[in-house]
Amino acid sequence: MRDCKRLVKEFDRELKDGEARNSPQVNKQLNDEKQSMIKELNSYVALRKTYLNTLGNKKVELFDTGAGVSGEPTAEENVQMASTMSNQELVDAGMKRMDETDQAIERSKQVVHQTLEVGTQTASNLKGQTDQMGRVVNDLDTIQFSLKKASQLVKEIGRQVATDKCIMAFLFLIVCGVIAIIIVKIVNPNNKDIRDIPGLAPPAQSRKLLYFRE
């Protein structure tokens, strides 16, 4: 009985310690289980007290009956025999009930122990799930940060590509213009409307200086 109460107290203490870590549904389930075990234990205690009181009263009645029938030897022997048999039967019945009560208490202790194990395992599983959720959140934050950096990098590359395309288009137009001028100059070298391209103009004719002699 004392061990059973101690187990219930330990279960209650473990329940209070893990209340912050457990979900409300788990806490409610464990509290209901604890209340059920306490009620069952109280019923066994009350039943044990009732049987003990009944056994004591029967013994007193048997002793009183044996003391009050001492007048007649034959009747006294019969009464003593009947009283002894009833007492033995009562003792046997009481012992049987006590054994059943003890077995019920042992079952309650096993239930309390199993409930403690279930509570501990549940708390451990919840802690593991909480840690796993924390790691998942951290991974999601890392992925989100990586996506932001990748998006910024893609935008930067897009701007650079657009700038490079503009430069390439401008250079292409310049090259096309130069090629067009070269072609025109080759086809019509006497065309004065088009200025000579530096580096491509024909060499200037050497000037001759005239000296007047006196």
Query: What pTM does this model have?
Result: 0.30
Give 97-113 as a DSSP string: HHHHHHHHHHHHHHHHH
| Cα-only R_g, the chain | 55
Burial class (CB in 10 A: 0-12, 13-18, 19+), 112: buried
**80: its two tokens:** 């003593």
Tokens of 37: 């075990």
**H or E segment at 182?**
helix 73-187
Domain extents in the chain? 2-135
Separation between Cα atoms, residue 5 and residue 107, nearest integer Å:
13
Quote the crossing angle between the two packed helices 73-187 and 24-68, to the nearest 10°. 180
Mean pLDDT by runs of 10 across the 214 residues of the chain is: 67 70 72 74 74 59 44 46 53 74 87 86 85 85 85 85 86 88 77 58 50 46
